[in-house]
Structure 1
Amino acid sequence: MAQRPCFPDLTPAYRLVDAAAGAMCRSLGLPPDERDDLRQDLLVDLLTRLPSYDAARGEFGAFARVCIRHAATRLARKAKRDRAARHPSGLDDPLPGQEGVTVGAGISEGEGYSAWCGQPTDAVAALERRLDLERAGAAMDAGDLPLCGALSRQTPHELGKGGTIPRARIYRRITEMRLRLLAAGVTSAA
């Protein structure tokens, strides 16, 4: 029978990962909500390297520190590359050859900030979305609006679990709304 590997206690690694994620957020100027993603990436990297840990060669804390430091370096380089590819200059940077004019002032109103960030700015697609929303609003009953609002915050299962509306009725009303939207010419987004 093959012997299963014995993995060390990961408790010290959690503190190291948390500290590294916080330091990366501060040094890269990332928003605080990115900290959880960085923490998860660092932990996944450590867990993938865990089978190569050998207790005879050293303590687990040293192994974890080296793995986390290397993973943090790779993630920081990737974040800097991504930032450089998306935003070669800031909105407040001066335009070359034009005194007192910033990049932000040089972006046309039609393009807007989203175009500068690389998001699509198709005027025809925006018009079609607006028309679809108007058609969808006209197809909905006034009684369905509270259910739609509740479904934007909870799943049908969670809403039914709350006990205000039976789950079967929720699913039946969702089916009816989908049919009304389909009859109005509003198709599924996916």
Structure 2
Amino acid sequence: MTKEQLKLRSMIVTALFAAIIGIMAQLIIPLPLVPITGQTLAIGLAATILGSRYGLISVLLYLAIGSAGVPVFAEFSGGISKLIGPTGGFLVGFIPAVFIIGYYMEKTGYTYKNAMIANTIGMLITLSFGSAWLKISADLSWMAAFASGFTPFVIVGLIKAALASWIGILIRQRLITAKLLIPVHTVEKEKSF
């Protein structure tokens, strides 16, 4: 198989992840102001499986599709108003989160331990962006913004980080074995789990 064919397969998997994020966004536990969704789990999976470059592309594609009005955001919503509304900071926070998760994994190796550290950092980045945006857009105090946009999501975020790490490492190894994903580095620490 040529390098171009492998790259095409990686791009197809990347596009599929944009769709997976949209599907998982519909898994919702309603809370006042900000619901718990499956988006952050999907973001962690995308970063853990695809790495910084393709993970970032999948998130940017997801955000572009949603901003164009396709109902891929939580509660089957879409449009630019979601990005600039009270919960838009969580969506925008996916961009640095997915890149940093993937970058951390590329630099430290694709192990469960490294994935858990990276996904926890990514979760904290997303929650921080979301809370800061919530403070500004909803005109809340810092205490109220963190009470609404950060604190209720930490425990669930750690559970999602653990799931994204475990499932992500497993799927990544299988995709590479099936030649559906190109490893970022020629020497990767993929073996230890």
TM superposition score category, shorter chain reference: under 0.3
Instruction: State TM-score, norm by structure 1.
Output: 0.24
User: Which structure has the larger Rg over C-alpha atoms?
Assistant: 1
Q: TM-score normalised to the size of structure 2?
A: 0.24
Task: Give the helix-richer structure, 1 or 2.
Answer: 2
